Chain A
Amino acid sequence: MSDSTIDPRLLRAPPKRPLRLSWSDERVRGIVWQVVVVGIVGAIVWWLWSNTVHNLEVRRIATGFGFLDREAGLPIAESLIEYSPADTYFRALLVGLLNTLKVAVVGILLATILGTLVGIARLSRNWLLAKLAGIYVEVIRDLPLLLQLLFWYAILQGLPGPRQALNPAEGVFLSNRGLKLPILEWQAAHSWTLLAFLAGALGTWAFRRAARARQMQDGQPRRIWPVALALMLGLPVAVWAALGAPWSIDWPALRGFNFRGGMTISPEYFALLLGLVLYTAGFIAEIVRAGILAVPHGQWEAAQALGLRSGQVLSRIVLPQALRVIVPPMTSQYLNLTKNSSLAVAIGYQDIVSIANTTLNQTGQAIEGIAIIMLVYLTISLSISLFMNWYNARIALVER
């Protein structure tokens, strides 16, 4: 048929018109507009830059990052690494960065879990559950996050002191000094157990790959869970038992006016985490709900007609399709949560923004301080974006 073959004339590149130096030539206009816009933007930037240089000279502010090596002298309440006020600004900022990551990573995990549960609850056939989830989402999304953080912080500060601490469970104390939890005392044997678990996980992954490859050849699905159980649970337990099965728990206890021992979650961290998780979960719930609703009902019915069990329907048919809708907006929620963690400065949790702000107040290095904040967030944002884009590409629909 002559219709199906493309006219060879269409495949040829269109003839190049010579550039005419006239306003009626589109390309000339384009070049002129670009020169004008770039010129204006460049002029503004140059004007701001020259003002800044002049102002810095007048105010005798030395630029550069030399201040990072100086002694910070700023106390930091909670830190994941060794820190004292005698350390350098660089180390103080590093502590701030780790504090930001600590709240962002834990927040993303918890918000994903809570958001998914609420999103599914909103689709529940139980009217009361669905309505309550709906009210939660509506209320939490219509209140400013900063207000919520201040609210939770006010509630935590209004709690009784350590002596009258709330004691909801054995070894758990909630007071205006924060949340106290019992914690496992870490010993060498535990490190080995953890190592065994990681090795087990790696082994499971390798076995799964091999099983998949063989299934591709002979079409027989192989059971993975017994091997996974043995490698990821059995192996660590065996290692732990072989090393004498040591364990002891550090219980918090009231000594004088405060608690000793156990793990402390400071009121600032707790309020920030609580606010961020509850707020972001409201948005994630809507994303999850939209993702599940986006899978046509026929897909459920077709899967059931094929005789798949309900767990299989969810994991093999519905979730892979829903995830394609869920992942891109989820990425922006993760980015939002990370960026929103900068509100920590309002309730006194010392994250990177708070410490950079103190640094710039102490040293007067405003430009460097803000540049550090922006650089850190740009790096985190780009990393999360890259990872989620990779994940998105992996689960995307493969077309032709």
Chain B
Amino acid sequence: MSNTTTNIQLGTAVARVPGEASAPRKPPVTSTGFIGWLRSNLFSSWLSTAVTLVLLYLVIRWAIGFIEWGVINAVWSVPNNQTQACRDLEGAGACWAVITEKHRFILFGTYPYEEHWRPALVCVLFIGLYTVSAMRRFWRKELALIWAATLAAIGVLMWGGVFGLSYVPQERWGGLPITLILATFGLAFAFPLAILVALGRRSQLPAIKVLCVLYVELIRGVPLISLLFMASVMFPLFLPEGMNIDKLLRAQIAIILFAGAYLAEVVRGGLQALPKGQYEAADALGLSYWQKTGLIILPQALRLVIPPLVNTFIGFFKDTSLVLIIGIFDLLTAGKTAIIEPAWQGFGVEVYVTVGAIYFVFCFAMSKYSQALEAELNRHRRR
């Protein structure tokens, strides 16, 4: 091919010889494939090269250090709480023995040991419930029934006392089930509350509007801790003598009120983003306020705010850990309590890394789901 084209000047109109199949020349090796990718993404300029090399050095050094600490030098189990082997490492290796020894306690707290299959099953039920709720094909009215049935089953499993299950008082619950209960029940109740408050804040009726604004702004202006303190210290004063609500329920109420205010703002965003024509068209059809809201406004407004809603859910899942401060036995509290025993003191890092990994799995799944959903729901907007 090259010998036939040598006599043709480059740049002239007759660059091709008729009848000859002229394949376009491939770009140079240095600009395609793996090398090309490296050149354009890691070594595009001397500054970029320097940054790449420095970062590569740091990452590799850190990774080697982490593997040495977490795998090579680590102690995986010790006999009968004899943590001397761990102490001898002097921080050079992780003491995963604390997890081997305490993982049941971290996951299920002080729940009776031989009954641990019950909270374990509860966690599986919760995860199943989340998975089903996340699938769009289940987004219909029957989902509410599934929720009610699952939550009832969870109550039966945790308390027991029926179907031959032994009764376990609420004080002995702990660990991951508490975290999941606080998060799930919190959102299940906060969400309807949030919708009502958001509608109230957009209402034409001044008294209702003022009440909703006050609620949202007051709750959003103070930290969750102060509400939890209020639930644990002040709430007993609010109730008539003799009436007592247990601590977990009080904390749950505080979380619902807190989440309600934040979710209300997200929902309000959706209500505001909806074009005014939708409201007017519904009015013109002669629909009543609740018909308009339930059939026209909410289905569209909620669809608009699904991604920020999921982000708020992630926030609340993380925020349930704050009940540690008022002494409720959730996952983080169980982790912190596991290392109070003198034999295991000082192994906080290992425990927090493990507990963190559990939180991370849940939050990361939600975050990835939210991103996928956002892409899917916005597909009609993309050109």
Contact = CB atoms under 8 A, between A and B. Distances in A.
A170 interface: no
Contact of B234 (A155, A353, A366): A366
Contacts of A360: 233
A105 interface: no
A127 B41 contact: yes
A30 B204 contact: yes
Contact of B241 (A55, A150, A374): A55
B364 A377 contact: no
A1 interface: no
Interface centre among A142, A157, A353 (most CB of B within 10 A): A142
Interface stretch (A86-94, A183-191, A295-303, A336-344): A336-344
A146 B328 CA distance: 14
A244 B360 CA distance: 58
Contacts of B41: 125-127
Contacts of B221: 374, 377-378, 381-382
Given A127-B41, A342-B226, A38 B211 contact: yes
A377 B353 CA distance: 32
A125 B349 CA distance: 35
B132 to A, nearest CB: 22
A345 B236 CA distance: 22
A353 B346 CA distance: 27
Contacts of A345: 225, 325
A360 B230 CA distance: 11
Interface centre among B56, B207, B221, B234 (most CB of A within 10 A): B221
B359 interface: yes
B354 to A, nearest CB: 11
Given A30-B205, A143-B360, A151 B222 contact: no
Interface string B59-80: 1000000000000000000000
B240 interface: yes
Nearest to A339: B223
Contacts of B204: 30
A129 interface: yes
B343 interface: no
Interface in A108-131: 125-129
B363 interface: yes
A373 B226 contact: yes
Contacts of B218: 378
Interface residues of B, number: 55
B237 A367 contact: yes
B100 interface: no
B156 interface: no
A19 to B, nearest CB: 15
B121 interface: no
A381 B220 CA distance: 9
Contact of A41 (B51, B55, B91, B211): B211
Interface centre among A54, A129, A150, A367 (most CB of B within 10 A): A150
A340 B237 contact: no
Contacts of A373: 222, 226, 229
B318 interface: yes
A34 B206 CA distance: 8
B359 A144 contact: yes
Contacts of A154: 348-349, 352
Interface string B288-326: 000000000000000000000000001000110110110
Interface in A49-84: 51-52, 54-56, 58
Contacts of A55: 236-237, 241
A342 B223 CA distance: 7
A150 B336 contact: yes
B363 to A, nearest CB: 4
A158 interface: yes
Contacts of B324: 146, 346
A377 B332 contact: no
Given A158-B346, A353-B226, A370 B234 contact: yes
A34 B208 contact: yes
B175 to A, nearest CB: 14
Top 4 nearest A-B pairs (CB, nearest first) are: A154-B348, A142-B363, A127-B41, A339-B223
Interface of B: 41-42, 44, 48, 51-52, 55-56, 59, 91, 204-208, 211, 218, 220-226, 229-230, 233-234, 236-241, 314, 318-319, 321-322, 324-325, 332, 336, 346, 348-349, 352-353, 355-356, 359-360, 363-364, 367
7 contacts: A33-B208, A52-B238, A58-B241, A125-B48, A126-B44, A143-B359, A154-B352
Given A127-B42, A144-B359, A370-B233, 14 more contacts: A129-B55, A150-B332, A150-B352, A151-B349, A153-B348, A157-B348, A158-B346, A343-B325, A353-B223, A374-B221, A374-B222, A377-B223, A378-B222, A381-B221
